[in-house]
Amino acid sequence: MLIAMSRYRLLPTGAQEAVLLTHCAHARFVWNLAVEQHAHWRPGRLSAPGYNEQARQLTEARAEFAWLRAGSVTVQQQALRDFHQALANFCAGTHRRPMWRKAGRNEGFRQVGVRPEHVQKLNRRLGQVWVPKIGWVRFRRSRNVPDSVRSYRVTKDVSGRWHIAFAAKPDPIPSPGNGRVVGVDRGVMVSAALSTGEMLRCPGSTIGEERRLRALQRRLARCVPGSNRRKRVKAEIAKLKAREADRRKVWVEKTSTDLARRFDVLRVEELNIQNMTRSAKGTADRPGSKVRQKAGLNRGILAHGWGMLVARLAEKAVGRVEKVKAGYTSQQCSDCGHVASESRKSQAVFRCVSCGFSCNADVNAACNIAAGRAVTARGDLAVGRSANREPQLATSTA
């Protein structure tokens, strides 16, 4: 079952923020204890305490320690449930192993059993939600809260902003029924090139923000470690980074919704972004080459939200997103099917050495993705097949 998180800006007072931080600390403490108990556990090899045993241990700990007993038992128990769900996902092979949570970076907790009366509308701009041990906390109503809310998660990002995300089962965007197919080629210079010729760019930092970021980074290098000045500078940098991330998320939401409403079938490249953005520094015995260039490429890939765009498309256009093998899509001519690396003249120019067809290189790749055409190193079609065109791998005459 697909669950979407509708996130809103939380507006706690000073006293409420102190209790929220306490909830986050308790949830992190319980989570890390569970991680420690399962540190040497492997599926099918070593036994580890289950949820019922750990819940019993939590009850004993609350009876012994007053600082833990002062917190919300529902928040602490839910941290245990979340850990065991994460462990089950790891055993199923769909997620990574649950690891330690760090103060200041993984601040948050989840509350379940939310009833409709726990979320209220105050006016057009504000609402309020009931939080254990605190009471009513206001949040900014940037849009209507879903009616089917049963749980929420409260988080604090590195820039110091509080957010609340309500979990609800969304309705998928209906297919337009026009039979249109679009190919989406993701890049660094152009965030998403469509087979229709459209070039979509994810907004990043402005020139002024980049200038201020460089100045703050130079100032951070001169700060004394552990000083209050260093903390203030890091908070300013985090605010700039959070603003850029917000723009990227808004762009992904608008773009994915627009594509899901306009096209029946959406085809994208099948990319392993995690492997593509690995560091190239290597090891002490075998150091890597061009490490700084690879780090810049990794930042460019992550800044354009490649994975987030495809994930949101799959959630909104359920069953209508197809992944095509990425092999040779940028070297294959979308007009005649000829494959040659010489046809890719530059980052933006594609001119087929066989038929002379010329167009933007990213749009050419998007057309190949839309047609479902990708070839392997042997010259075979990997996905899809054109009835009248057979892609031919260029062979060297040398």
- The predicted-structure confidence for 289-343, as pLDDT tens digits, reads as follows 888 888 888 888 888 989 999 999 998 998 899 999 888 888 889 888 888 888 8
pLDDT at 392: 39
Q: Which residue has the higher pLDDT, 378 or 40?
A: 40
pLDDT at 248: 93
- The predicted-structure confidence for 14-27, as pLDDT tens digits, reads as follows 999 999 999 999 99
Q: Where are the domains of the chain?
A: 4-168, 181-323, 327-393
The candidate with the shortest Cα–Cα distance to 76, out of 147, 1, 26, is 26
Which residue numbers are catalytic?
185, 269, 362
Q: Can you tell me the distance from the alpha carbon of 88 to that of 77, in angstroms, rounded to the nearest whole number?
A: 17
Average pLDDT of every residue of the chain: 86
Q: For residue 139, give every residue at least 6 positions away whose Cβ sits within 8 Å of its Cβ, in sequence order, or none.
A: 8, 9, 10, 11, 126, 127, 128, 129, 164
- The predicted-structure confidence for 45-69, as pLDDT tens digits, reads as follows 557 788 999 999 999 999 999 999 9
Q: What is the DSSP letter of 344?
A: B
Least confident window among 179-183, 352-356, 382-386: 382-386
pLDDT at 244: 93
pLDDT at 93 over 90: no
The candidate with the shortest Cα–Cα distance to 75, out of 116, 117, 35, 25, is 25
pLDDT at 134: 94
- The predicted-structure confidence for 118-160, as pLDDT tens digits, reads as follows 999 999 999 999 999 999 999 999 888 888 788 999 999 888 8
